[in-house]
Amino acid sequence: MRIFQHVTDLGDLHTALAEAAEVKRDRFQWQHLGKNKTALLIFFNNSLRTRLSTQKAAMNLGMNVIVLDVNQGAWKLETERGVIMDGDKSEHLLEAIPVMGSYCDIIGVRSFARFESRKDDYEEKILQQFIKYSGRPVFFMESATVHPLQAFADLITIKEDWKGNSRPKVVMTWAPHPKSLPQAVPNSFAEWMLAADVDFVVTHPEGYELDPQFVKGAQVEYDQMKAFEGADFVYAKNWSCPGVTRPEDYGKVLHDYHTMMDWCVSSRQMAVTNNAGFLHCLPVRRNMIVTDDVIESPRSLVIPEAANREISAEVVLKRMLESL
Ligand code: CP
């Protein structure tokens, strides 16, 4: 595997899930693969889970790990070609990327949506440059539009928890937030659920329609309570306007969140589910996205879900090491 961005990069999903279970049984059995190999993890944005779980996964595989916080201690990077660099940016990404590539065998990059240009964000301008100029396999640790390590961990968690014989009903719900957040997590979750053996429903207020490249084929229900009926899993997440129908609204928060608090996941909505498991990628703002009682309930899966980030990262790194 040279790139990990989409669910299709993993090939057969059943095989990948079986591999995740095998990793979980003994996560140290492939230490020989990573011997004398280096993973470079580059963060343009903050992280707790991705940073720790990916480092742990690399160490499980016997790798050396270098972590770079681009905005803390590195030269400030110019990303646009053709710019006269007489400002505060001392280095261009076009030199920095191949230099970084020369110090490692595999690169992971976190670079969120900038909300300056929908086109640049949805074309993955930063990550594509790493793919083109680093000369190394590149995995996405949350980019402008996707968060595949999270979605893989989400699917592993659903598979582990689901005890039924038929396909579970999985509902992804928009929830309020005071800030403008990217669509990477809901995009990837939708992409992965549509590829998995689940019945997938998305619910959000009108105006927050996700890009069809990720959500095409999903059932969209604007009535949140109706969507929750009989749900086996509820995935809560905020996202800003994806700008699908009105590009000028890309990245905007369309309503004052005070008027949207009915969308906060509480026992009112959970009561109509099939004792649904509650998922969120974390970090989560309590009593905005989800109430204290729901996230603290026995059906809250957020901690095992975060723990499975180590497993999803290990499967991806293992696949990349095997293809070096
Ligand atoms: N879920 C997730 O990616 O967490 P971090 O932002 O803390 O890495």
Q: What does the pLDDT look like over 5-46, one tens digit per residue?
A: 999 999 999 999 999 999 999 999 999 999 999 999 999 999
Q: Is 60's pLDDT higher than 90? A: yes
Give the Å distance between the CA of 166 and the centre of ligand 1: 31
Cβ atoms of 221 and 233 closer than 8 Å: no
* Predicted confidence band of residue 308 (pLDDT cuts 50, 70, 90): very high
For a mutational test of ligand 1's pocket, the pick from 42, 47, 157, i.e. the residue with the most ligand atoms closer than 8 A to its C-beta, is 47
For a mutational test of ligand 1's pocket, the pick from 309, 311, 312, i.e. the residue with the most ligand atoms closer than 8 A to its C-beta, is 309
Cβ atoms of 294 and 284 closer than 8 Å: no
Cβ atoms of 298 and 41 closer than 8 Å: no
Give the Å distance between the CA of 178 and the centre of ligand 1: 18
**73: alpha, beta or left? (left if phi > 0; alpha if psi -120 to 50):** left
Q: Is 73's pLDDT higher than 90? A: no
Q: Could you tell me the fold of the domain covering 3-146+309-323?
A: Rossmann fold (3.40.50)
d(CA 55, CA 163): 31
Supply the pLDDT for residue 51.
98
CATH of domain 150-305: 3.40.50.1370
End-to-end CA distance of the chain: 8
Give the Å distance between the CA of 160 and the centre of ligand 1: 21
Question: What average pLDDT does the structure give for the chain?
Answer: 97
For a mutational test of ligand 1's pocket, the pick from 48, 139, 280, i.e. the residue with the most ligand atoms closer than 8 A to its C-beta, is 48
What's the distance, CA 47 to chain centroid?
Answer: 12
Q: Which residues line ligand 1 (CB under 6 A)?
A: 47-50, 142, 150, 281-283
Q: Is 274's pLDDT higher than 90? A: yes
Q: By alpha-carbon position, which residue is closest to atom 1 of ligand 1?
A: 281
Cβ atoms of 113 and 119 closer than 8 Å: no
The pTM assigned to this predicted structure is 0.98
Q: Is 140's pLDDT higher than 90? A: yes
Q: By alpha-carbon position, which residue is closest to atom 4 of ligand 1?
A: 49
For helices 93-102 and 125-133, angle between their N-to-C axes, nearest 10 degrees: 50
Locate CATH 3.40.50.1370 in the chain. 3-146+309-323, 150-305
